[in-house]
């Protein structure tokens, strides 16, 4: 599997390049709240919701004094406002209760598995959200798996799994050293631009020659404008 991933990662880099990263890693609390907001919506809308929330507070402490309904109104552009507002408020309340402050910096010295195990204890935070903290805030060699990554890795034949969490567990020990960020980000681009849920553009896919997908589509259609904005690499 590792050799497969190495090959796919290199093909994606050849096509998309190495994704840019911020020189200074963002605060892990910012990342986890941004990731909560990104669930089941696009990056642009979740970023608007994130900026809306930040512009209404001086610090995350202020969110504790807001009603869930108030948070919901502020982040409504991201969709699923009630669900996401509850998850954010619950996370902050738990951090204040058990750690005395609103911070995730205590996780820096913990192992990847320890970080995952602790974060998923919070209601509304799953493995994908927790793994985003590891990659984007702590620069760990961990590849978060969303629906795009799950779909592509199954189509290509790297895994045969039924959901993103199982895909994550299958690949997590096979990511080449230092490859997680480029692999994750370029798979997202591939999923948006080529390996779409329906009518994938196999006729111009940069990894078509290593893909085992049985229902490849070679019917050329007019290209649509792509959205190459990525939320978690934009949070500062």
pLDDT tens for each residue of 41-82: 999 999 999 999 999 999 999 999 999 999 999 999 999 999
Q: What is the pLDDT along the chain (236 residues), one digit of tens a residue?
A: 999 999 999 999 999 999 999 889 999 999 999 999 999 899 999 999 999 999 999 999 999 999 999 999 999 999 999 999 999 999 999 999 999 999 999 999 999 999 999 999 999 999 999 999 999 999 999 999 999 999 999 999 999 999 999 999 999 999 999 999 999 999 999 999 999 999 999 999 999 999 999 999 998 876 555 667 777 887 87
3-state secondary structure the chain: CHHHHHHHHHHHHHHHCCCCCCCCCCCHHHHHHHHHHHCCCCHHHHHHHHHHHHHCCCCHHHHHHCCHHHHHHHCHHHCCHHHHHHHHHHHHHHHHHHHCCCCCHHHCCCCHHHHHHHHCCCCCCCHHHHHHHHHHHCCCCCCCCCHHHHHHHHHHCCCCCCCHHHHHHHHCCCCCCCCHHHHHHHHHHHHHHCCCCCCCCHHHCCCHHHCCCCCCCCCCCCCCCCCCCCCCCCCC
Active-site residue, selected from the candidate residues 84, 128, 172, 201 = 128
Domains of the chain: 2-21+142-210 (1.10.1670.10), 28-137 (1.10.340.30)
Q: Is 214 a catalytic residue?
A: no
Distance, CA of 72 to CA of 74 (rounded, Å): 5
pLDDT tens per residue across span 84-102: 999 999 999 999 999 999 9
Can you give the pLDDT at residue 211? 97
């Amino acid at each position: 599997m590792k050799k497969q991933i190495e090959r796919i990662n290199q093909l994606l880099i050849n096509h998309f390049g190495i994704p840019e990263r911020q020189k200074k890693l963002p605060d892990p609390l910012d990342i986890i709240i941004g990731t909560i907001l990104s669930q089941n919506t696009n990056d642009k809308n979740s970023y608007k919701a994130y900026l809306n929330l930040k512009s209404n507070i001086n610090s995350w402490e202020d969110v504790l004094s807001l009603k869930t309904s108030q948070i919901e109104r502020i982040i409504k552009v991201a969709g699923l406002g009630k669900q996401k507002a509850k998850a954010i408020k619950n996370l902050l309340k738990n951090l204040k209760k058990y750690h005395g402050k609103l911070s995730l910096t205590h996780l820096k010295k913990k192992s990847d598995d320890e970080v995952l195990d602790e974060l998923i204890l919070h209601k509304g935070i799953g493995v994908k959200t927790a793994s985003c903290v590891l990659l984007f805030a702590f620069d760990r060699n961990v590849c978060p798996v969303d629906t795009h990554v799950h779909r592509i890795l199954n189509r290509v034949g790297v895994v045969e799994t039924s959901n993103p969490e199982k895909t994550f567990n299958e690949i997590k020990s096979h990511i080449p050293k230092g490859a997680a960020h480029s692999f994750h980000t370029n798979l997202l681009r591939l999923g948006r631009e080529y390996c779409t849920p329906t009518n994938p553009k196999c006729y111009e896919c940069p990894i078509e020659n290593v893909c085992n997908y049985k229902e490849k589509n070679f019917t050329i259609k007019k290209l649509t404008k792509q959205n190459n904005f990525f939320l978690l690499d934009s949070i500062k």
